[in-house]
Structure 1
Amino acid sequence: MPEPKQAPMNVLFITADQWRGECLSARGHPTVRTPNLDALAKDGVLFRNHFANTAPCGPSRASLHTGMYLQNHRSATNGTPLDARHTNWAKEAARIGYDPVLFGYTDTSQDPRAEDPESPWLLTYEGPLPGIRPICMMGTWPTPWTDDLKKRGYEVPADIRYAYGHRAPGPEYEDGAAVPRPLVYPNEVDDTAFLTNRLMEYIGDATKPFVAHLSLLRPHPPFVAPEPYNAMYDPENVPGFARRATVEEEAAQHPWLEHQLGRKLFRAPADEKKLRRLKAVYYGLMSEVDAALGRVFAFLKETGRWDNTLIVFTSDHGEQMGDRWLLGKCGWFDASYHIPLIVRDPKPAADGTRGTVVDRFTENVDIMPTMLDFIGAETPVQCDGKSLMPFLRDGKAPANWRREAHWEYDFRDPADDSAEKRLGLTLHQCTMNILRGDRYKYVHFTHLPPLFFDLEKDPHEFENLAAKPEYLPLVLEHAQKLLSWRMNHDEQTLTHIALTDDGPVERKAARY
């Protein structure tokens, strides 16, 4: 008998901005509750050791969308153009007939060589990913959402950028209020609800297989949540902070950390009550995202799309949230790069792996190959990552799978040379590379001293062992591993092709 006809396959690719990897109740987090993502993990695969490849948003999303390490795509900062010659998952999906669509943002800095000189996308780093069709695009300027609020009779700030953090009147928690001040708008109409509603409208009207990217801002700052999520977690009961007793002791670990802690933008507030309020609201925003995604998952089931839709949930990077006296995302810290990843493959071939947890190291560069593998598109040579489909179908890692996670942080700022002056660097020396294994982490700077940590003995990375004689063999081993990794992942788009008397000869091969 002929095989039953396969239903058209859809892809729902979800990112929630700035979400720390341990913050899922499925991971046993002591405070935050995420029942809908827990259910997704139970019906899919949870990747416990998943890492972003860089930070902040723009560079990290460049890696996420192109499958390339920063060393190759070179969109190093928010605003560094992404070279137009690189392809991405949206372009590749479009090649085989899909219409990739966007709800939210991709933070793609456009290549000025490929744009009209008068293009508005040259005035912002928040451009759309080439090849994607924005249906509801909103980032710093949430115009579709604020327009909707106005239609509903709500007032919005004159500068609509502040709508995300527009709080109800009254004192703040650290000034005596019983709970953190809520967003002035009800959770039924806030930015998270607005975007997920628009996504469901699109899916409900779709007559062809879809590939949709839902890019939610939350739990990214401003740390202001609508009721009841503002009061869901008691600031006094959130976990404490992994840091030295004082900022000065923390800063003494390394010149770069001293510089970073000297920047007001990245310094955590000295008022611990305020910091606890920020963390409690951060968790509340996660629970709100979880509830919104629960509505999306229920909608997929109600409309008969649950069993033909690949769902990928991850983030672009994490959040320090007071650890090491820092806010935001930066440096070599796990808190900034360890992020969640849950993938639900709807096909029967994945039934044997549902509810499993993968401990092998996975990275954001693996997302593009995975989605393309699922829809039957070829993975471009440019991709540094590999498809995760073997984990979803076979439940085990392919041969030669990576044994460490890798990331790169570029702290250059073309508009500000303070780091260069303070650290004695040039613009192009403001970089660090990280190799993070099960036990050891090695941090290499272009022109500053290295760092080496024993994570088994020192999980918070307080003691730098790089200069201790007994650790020098391990430091050398990891420096060589890092060098080999970079060499192995040098850009190679055309290196598998040779021009011969018989014309171009091509032979593709795995990177590792």
Structure 2
Amino acid sequence: MTEKRPNVLLIAVDQWPGHLFGYRGHHAIETPTIDQLARNGAIYPRAYSECPICIPARRTLMTGTSPRTHGDRLFQPAAPMPDLPTLAGTFQAAGYQTAAVGKIHAFPPRARIGFEEALIAEEGRPQLGAVDDHDLYLSDRGFTGKQFMHGMSNNDYGWRTWHLPEDCHVTNWTTFAMCRTIKRRDPTRPAFWHLSYTQPHPPIVPLAAYLERYTRREMPAALSAPWGDDVPYALQAVRGYWDQLPSDRLADVRRAFYALCTHIDAQLRLVIGTLREEAVLDDTIILFCGDHGDMLGDFGLYAKRLMYEGSANVPMILIPAKGDRRVAPGTTDMRLVGLQDVMPTLLDLAGVHVPQTCDGLPMTGEARRETLYGEALEGSRATRMMHDGRHKLIWYPTGNVVQLFDLEEDPDERVDRAGDPAYGAVEARLTERLIGELYGVDGGLAEAGRLVGTPAERYVPVPNRGLSGQRGLHYPEPPLDDPANVVGAG
């Protein structure tokens, strides 16, 4: 008799910093459900998004490859998924039923990339020509085209409470659709389910019930550091694009952002409850992760695209099927992990052959990487990272600025150790490793074993006529647009 194969549930959240959980010791956030999941599996505090930008990160997640392999470290909305085996396609070829609910961020938007079923919520992109399932649901409820009538931007830090009934919120719809998908499964085949929440990525529009619990709670102050006084062009551009909020307004933004997180945490209870009541919870591997984080005002910075912990460090929790001793409940694994490791980890735990195209490593095996390379953007806004598990070297090619942080001594990255004689050997070693990873347009940015970069530039603010990609009334639908246009990225 063939051994029963486990189901797999991959849960992804969008723009949720890795430190912003109760299980990571955060004193203000409420994440009781996810904290309980963490106690049932292994957590990976040194998990990173190799390219902390939505589309590149999801290419990595779905192909098990680094940006160098899949070809995107920018944000290429019109580029199809590369011609590589995908996580869903590999499971499907192994006999699994495969279904996705929520944000896939592929192009074209209804490309299945190996999923037999896909119910999508793509953050209001009708200009790309797709039928969005969340939009269809809103229309069925009598709110055709009104998803964004709250007036908040998908790429900004204004906030207000949700403007439609609770069941119309994208977090509620995504949960509901996944629970139904689980109930509609084929009982003769194992399942791979991908549950992908679009938030806490802006627009910051929490339900009033979740915001209320934070209204009287003290918020942590934004981080600051001496190195933040004179920053390279890439950081100037981030500071120049988003408003520098005073402390009281930033605290309110964080309250609303935390409310989005707690809302997801509560809705996950329904997914776990559905698995339990369908009698498949014990037979299901669960992996919870994020595509990247958000700086949320630390050092005067917002959003992603940066290699600081708030942006690049992501949540990573792995819960095995019951009885699988390869993952011990309640453990902390400090190995260096990238999103490229998700695909080989899940395939390996499920007993499915891992394609040779994967760059990643199973997170449960003996193999460990010594360093992890990170990269985002090109040209004047480029940033590169080399991480050894304790020390993180960040390089800004424009201006040739290097930073070095000791995360064991300085987890908040306040003290830049670049140029410190006590860290000279560490800096030299990580610099050598980073130079060895450079490719493409970066090829001429190092000479004779030294980083040389390009001349420093001074950022000059430009008008933000589109209000960070503000959405409007979506009925009648906006006309089709060039899918290569990058909306709201500054």
Superposition TM-score tier, normalisation by shorter sequence: 0.7 to 0.9
Partner of 2:122: 139
**Cα pair 1:407 1:434 within 8 Å, conserved:** yes
Partner of 2:106: 108
Structure 2 residue matching 1:389: 3-state secondary structure: coil
- The alignment status of 1:216 with 2:197, answered yes or no, reads yes
Rounded to whole Å, the distance in 1 between the matches of 2:353 and 2:62 is 15
- The alignment status of 1:200 with 2:179, answered yes or no, reads yes
CA shift in 2, pair 1:226/1:409, >3 Å? same
Partner of 1:25: 22
| Higher helix residue share | 1
Structure 2 residue matching 1:278: 3-state secondary structure: helix
Rounded to whole Å, the distance in 1 between the matches of 2:337 and 2:416 is 26
Which of 297, 307, 322 is matched with 1:322 structurally? 297
Partner of 2:48: 51
Structure 1 unaligned spans of 5+: 110-120, 167-173, 175-179, 391-397, 413-418, 420-429, 488-512
Structure 1 residue matching 2:100: 3-state secondary structure: strand
Counterpart amino acid of residue 193 in structure 2: A
Partner of 2:236: 258
**Cα pair 2:336 2:371 within 8 Å, conserved:** yes
Which of 388, 395, 411 is matched with 1:444 structurally? 395
Deviation larger for 81-90 or 276-285: 81-90
CA shift in 2, pair 1:213/1:163, >3 Å? farther
Partner of 2:430: 478
- The alignment status of 1:149 with 2:138, answered yes or no, reads yes
Map 1:326-405 onto structure 2 (within 5 A): 326-350=301-325, 353-390=328-365, 398-399=366-367, 401-405=368-372
Rounded to whole Å, the distance in 1 between the matches of 2:151 and 2:360 is 34
Counterpart amino acid of residue 407 in structure 1: G
CA shift in 2, pair 1:302/1:456, >3 Å? closer
- The alignment status of 1:70 with 2:101, answered yes or no, reads no
Partner of 1:238: 219
Rounded to whole Å, the distance in 2 between the matches of 1:84 and 1:365 is 14
Deviation larger for 297-306 or 140-149: 140-149
- The alignment status of 1:281 with 2:267, answered yes or no, reads no
Structure 1 residue matching 2:208: 3-state secondary structure: coil
Counterpart amino acid of residue 42 in structure 2: V
Partner of 1:497: none
Deviation larger for 269-278 or 315-324: 269-278
**Cα pair 2:123 2:198 within 8 Å, conserved:** no
Partner of 1:502: none
Q: Deviations over 1:85-140 (max 9, x none)?
A: 2221112112112232211122124xxxxxxxxxxx2xxxx564522234311212
CA shift in 2, pair 1:63/1:367, >3 Å? same
TM-score by length of 2: 0.79
Counterpart amino acid of residue 184 in structure 1: H
Percent identity for Structure 1 against Structure 2? 25
- The alignment status of 1:185 with 2:164, answered yes or no, reads yes
**Cα pair 2:44 2:315 within 8 Å, conserved:** yes
Q: Higher relative CO (CA 8 A, sep ≥ 6), structure 1 or 2?
A: 2
- The alignment status of 1:407 with 2:365, answered yes or no, reads no
Counterpart amino acid of residue 235 in structure 2: L
- The alignment status of 1:454 with 2:429, answered yes or no, reads no
**Cα pair 1:311 1:345 within 8 Å, conserved:** yes
CA shift in 2, pair 1:480/1:181, >3 Å? closer
Please identify the structure whose Cα radius of gyration is greater. 1
Counterpart amino acid of residue 383 in structure 2: M
CA shift in 2, pair 1:480/1:321, >3 Å? same
Rounded to whole Å, the distance in 2 between the matches of 1:356 and 1:202 is 31
CA shift in 2, pair 1:462/1:29, >3 Å? closer
Rounded to whole Å, the distance in 1 between the matches of 2:352 and 2:393 is 36
Q: Deviations over 1:322-350 (max 9, x none)?
A: 11111110222111011111111114123
CA shift in 2, pair 1:457/1:357, >3 Å? closer
CA shift in 2, pair 1:56/1:84, >3 Å? closer
**Cα pair 2:387 2:430 within 8 Å, conserved:** no
Q: Deviations over 1:3-48 (max 9, x none)?
A: x864342111110111111122122210111111122112222222
Rounded to whole Å, the distance in 2 between the matches of 1:453 and 1:268 is 27
Structure 2 residue matching 1:451: 3-state secondary structure: strand
**Cα pair 1:411 1:431 within 8 Å, conserved:** yes
Partner of 1:94: 92
CA shift in 2, pair 1:87/1:34, >3 Å? same
**Cα pair 1:107 1:128 within 8 Å, conserved:** no
CA shift in 2, pair 1:202/1:26, >3 Å? same
CA shift in 2, pair 1:433/1:306, >3 Å? same
In the comparison of the two structures, how many residue pairs are matched?
427
Counterpart amino acid of residue 210 in structure 1: A
CA shift in 2, pair 1:259/1:218, >3 Å? closer
